Amino acid sequence: MSKKTLVIGGGIAGITAAQKIAQNGGEVILIEKEGELGGNFAKLAYTFPVLADAKMIVTREIQTAKATSGIEILPQTELRGVSGSAGDFTVELNSPSGTRSEHVGAIIVAAGFHYMEPTAYTEYSYGRSPKVVTSLEFEKMAAENRLPKGNARVVFVHCVGSRDKAKGYRYCSKICCSYSAKHAIMMKKANPDSKAYVFYIDIRALGKGYEEFIRDAMEVYNVRYIRGRVAKVIESGSKLIVRAEDSLIGNPVEVEADLVVLASAMEPPEGSRDLAGILGIATDEYGFFQEAEVNVRPCHSSKSGIFLAGSCTQPMEIASAVAMGGLAASEALTLIR
Amino acid sequence: MRLRIDEDGIRNVVEEAIGKSLTACLQCSKCGGGCSHSEEFDLTPRQVVESLLDCQDQNVLDSRMIWLCGRHCSGCQAVCPVGLPLNDIMAVLREEALKLDIEPKYEQPSLVYHKFEHCAKHRGEGEASESMVGGETQPA
Ligand SMILES: Cc1cc2nc3c(=O)[nH]c(=O)nc-3n(C[C@H](O)[C@H](O)[C@H](O)COP(=O)(O)OP(=O)(O)OC[C@H]3O[C@@H](n4cnc5c(N)ncnc54)[C@H](O)[C@@H]3O)c2cc1C
Ligand code: SF4
Ligand code: SF4
Ligand code: SF4
């Protein structure tokens, strides 16, 4: 029986799983297809619901993983093949330095999510106007100090690509209500002269402190929430016109904006079905990895010895990805110890 | 005025005609924002769907909206995230209203509306509203 665990994906879920296994005496091979660890967390500036310093936290967690003995980190590495069964898998790993074969007792899939490029949303002028950006681009703008200056008006658009059978996904991406509120607050903090608007269908912000966070956006930071899904963003000279129906009034409304931020969908990681094929595990109708049982076995894949962690199973916030990483680690430990 | 909610109404006729249940509606109101004419309406398309769901038939059939809507445009359904054919819904409602001898209400809005305002192209708007999904549904 092999004492090692293979963790696929170096985002916060994979990092957490690797740390917990190693801290409990196991050995880990952590493979990451990119050059650096951190995943999407590393692209954020601040985190809801407390506006914590994202870079500081993710760097600390990466350092801890690197400093913990028993974790071998392989960047730019992908899985090519798997054989064997729980407790005794043989995996083929492909790195720039070549291919190698390893024996592992358990596998944890923590391949994360991909952020949807909302190119289908021509009605929002995405791809046409440089003033229409995604929420992930907004994080980058904030980190690089490029948020609009002066008396600027910024409009945040909920549910782009989510809750949209026609052009995106039927599911709700779960956390964009919360990060849009975070972005509106970040905007107001960075530039108190700016005006921030959020257009929503309904507000889904479930978690400790989340409702309070949204209320603070409205009450403390004076962010205006308008109920109605945005229908159009029209370029008009140097400005943008955002059109919607205020469904609480039952009347069409428009607002002139300098920047429009689209809360796009969190979708399955690129190549998730191929990876599932190599591993021999199931995905759901969208391509997220399928848990064996939603309620009490959220970390079990459809195959014994292969576990799931983080946003490769469904859209989720950092705290849930960490919790799942920890649970996947303890499941793996039962096989390798 | 307090409305009395009911379950039996013209909704069934509409749903049969479009081959879809109105329960598909997400209550998001994107349609009303996408319509170039809703500023002239007494009910927004979303309010029509909502009223149909609760069987406020009279409200809908007496509205001006069902007559002003649906001429070579489909800005609403081009952006509807569940693809509800609002255009066809209004056409069914016009037929039902005619069956009940309800007087069509075309006159109120400006003529500009009939000439240019209805056409997104003339307003330089996004292509979504230029779409002809749903085709023509001129009332009889
Ligand atoms: C705009 C935006 C703002 C957000 N703000 C917040 C916030 O304020 N607070 C909060 O709690 N959450 C926030 N989130 C969510 C947060 O980013 C996620 O919860 C978190 O990144 C999930 O971590 P993860 O490890 O599951 O996935 P990821 O961060 O996606 O990491 C997955 C890793 O796996 C790697 N990988 C993928 N496939 C393979 C493969 N085949 N082989 C090897 N490696 C692979 C990827 O390269 C990546 O490094 C936000 C998300 C977005 C989009
Ligand atoms: S979390 Fe909010 S913005 Fe995101 S899809 Fe769900 S309802 Fe829409
Ligand atoms: S069919 Fe045209 S007029 Fe009628 S609701 Fe849709 S966009 Fe408006
Ligand atoms: S756009 Fe479609 S789903 Fe949204 S309110 Fe209108 S009819 Fe309903």
> Which sequence spans correspond to the domains of chain A?
4-113+268-336, 115-266
Write A57-66 long-range contacts (CB < 8 A, 24+). A58/A12, A61/A12, A61/A15, A61/A16, A61/A19, A62/A15, A62/A37, A62/A38, A64/A19, A65/A15, A65/A18, A65/A19, A65/A30, A65/A37
Ligand 3 center from residue B85 Cα (angstroms): 10
How high is the pLDDT of residue A1?
60
> Dihedrals φ, ψ of A226, to 5°?
-120, 130
Q: Is residue B130 part of a domain?
A: yes
CB A198 within 8 A of CB A158: yes
CATH 2.30.130.10 fits A115-266, yes or no: no
How high is the pLDDT of residue A221?
98
B125 has a pLDDT exceeding 90: no
| Domain extent for B90 | 10-106
CB A234 within 8 A of CB A260: no
A12 has a pLDDT exceeding 80: yes
Domain count, chain B: 2
Do B102 and B117 lie in a common domain?
no
Do B49 and B96 lie in a common domain?
yes
pTM of the model: 0.92
If pLDDT is split at 50, 70 and 90, which confidence band does A142 have? very high
Do B27 and B61 lie in a common domain?
yes
Q: What does the pLDDT average to over A52-79? A: 98
Q: What's the rounded Cα separation, in Å, for the pair B103 and A23?
A: 78
Do B92 and B42 lie in a common domain?
yes
Q: Is B70 in the pocket of ligand 3 (CB under 6 A)?
A: yes
Beta-carbon count within 10 A of A310 CB: 34
Do B56 and B95 lie in a common domain?
yes
Do B65 and B133 lie in a common domain?
no
More confident residue, B108 or A98: A98
Do B65 and B112 lie in a common domain?
no
Do B96 and B119 lie in a common domain?
no
Which pLDDT tens digit goes with each residue over A215-270? Answer: 999 999 999 999 999 999 999 999 999 999 999 999 999 999 999 999 999 999 99
Helix segments in B5-113, DSSP class H? 11-18, 30-34, 45-53, 57-61, 65-68, 75-79, 86-99, 111-112
If pLDDT is split at 50, 70 and 90, which confidence band does B71 have? low
Q: What does the pLDDT average to over A99-108? A: 97
> Which of B39, B79, B82 lies nearest to residue A123, judging by beta carbons?
B79
A83 has a pLDDT exceeding 60: yes
Q: What's the rounded Cα separation, in Å, for the pair A51 and A185?
A: 9
How high is the pLDDT of residue A232?
97
How high is the pLDDT of residue B129?
40
Beta-carbon count within 10 A of B96 CB: 18
Q: What's the rounded Cα separation, in Å, for the pair B34 and A243?
A: 7
One-letter amino acid of B54: D
- Closest-CA residue, ligand 1 atom 49, reads A39
Do B15 and B25 lie in a common domain?
yes
Q: Is residue B57 part of a domain?
A: yes
Ligand 4 center from residue A280 Cα (angstroms): 40
Do B88 and B130 lie in a common domain?
no
A138 has a pLDDT exceeding 50: yes
Q: Is residue B5 part of a domain?
A: no
The answer to which of A21-25, A223-227, A317-321, B3-7 has the lowest mean pLDDT is: B3-7
Q: What does the pLDDT average to over B81-102? A: 95
Q: Could you tell me the end-to-end alpha-carbon distance of chain A, in angstroms, rounded to an integer?
A: 9
Q: What does the pLDDT average to over B47-64? A: 96
Looking only at the bridges linking them, the beta strands covering A306-308 and A224-227 are: unpaired
Give the number of residues written for chain B: 140
More confident residue, A312 or B132: A312
B residues 113-132 lying closer than 8 A (beta carbon) to A:
124-129
Report the percentage of chain A scoring pLDDT > 70: 99
Q: Is residue B1 part of a domain?
A: no
Which pLDDT tens digit goes with each residue over A146-205? Answer: 999 999 999 999 999 999 999 999 999 999 999 999 999 999 999 999 999 999 999 999
Q: What's the rounded Cα separation, in Å, for the pair B70 and B67?
A: 8
Do B99 and B33 lie in a common domain?
yes
Strands of A169-250 (E only): list them. Answer: 195-200, 224-227, 232-236, 239-246
CB A89 within 8 A of CB A2: yes
Shortest distance between the Cα of A241 and any Cα of chain B, in A, equals 10
Looking only at the bridges linking them, the beta strands covering A259-264 and A153-160 are: parallel
Do B68 and B94 lie in a common domain?
yes
Which pLDDT tens digit goes with each residue over A286-308? Answer: 999 999 999 999 999 999 999 99
How high is the pLDDT of residue B138?
41
Q: Is residue B3 part of a domain?
A: no
CATH class of A4-113+268-336: alpha beta
